[in-house]
Amino acid sequence: MGKITVETCEIEGLKIITPTVFGDERGYFMETYNYNDFKEAGIDRAFVQDNQSSSKKGVLRGLHFQKEFAQDKLVRVVSGEVFDVAVDLREGSATYGKWHGVRLSAENKKQFFIPKNFAHGFLVLSDTAEFAYKCTDFYHPNDEGGLAWNDPDIGVEWPIEEGMELTISDKDTKWGGIKEYTKNKNQG
């Protein structure tokens, strides 16, 4: 292996990947994804869709998930910096409802692997950020689910700087909390 370093998190399944960067006076080169290296690291997935977004400082997206067509995601930042969060929604998981956050930036070049059945979101910390991610299933607009970004039962500690104005979509202001999600899921 050697081309990537993989850190595990306190929530099983989440992984932080740091690629090897080859640099000299001309700049740098790195592989952002190599199936063989990821497979050797225990991430044997077939990604079918790549997405990229651009957002300004204070934009908070999430916490999103697909209900029936769950996706594994491999996320990274192309420019700028974000605080990226995953919330465990796996039934029967010892860490159900727990979250983990990591700073992803163009500078640190870290990637975050988020398995299926996690909610996902991020907060832009730099003036602007370009965010890119791979998914193992296609996006299905009618299958969208979400959790309130500020649900006290989840308790994400977003690094919101003093004076930072948050920009949150109307849709993301209307999601319920994890108690409501769990109740509805168990009734369904």
* Identified catalytic residue from 33, 35, 100, 133: 133
Residue type, 43: I
Q: Which of 64, 100, 120, 181 is catalytic?
A: 64
C-alpha span between 11 and 38 (Å, rounded): 19
Annotated active-site residue 120? The verdict is no
User: Apex CA 100: angle with CA 54 and CA 143, to 5°?
Assistant: 60
Q: What whole-number distance in Å separates Cα of residue 88 and Cα of residue 98? A: 6
140 annotated active-site: no
Cα–Cα distances in angstroms (integers) from residue 29 to residues 19, 20, 92, in the given order: 10, 9, 41
Catalytic residues: 64, 133
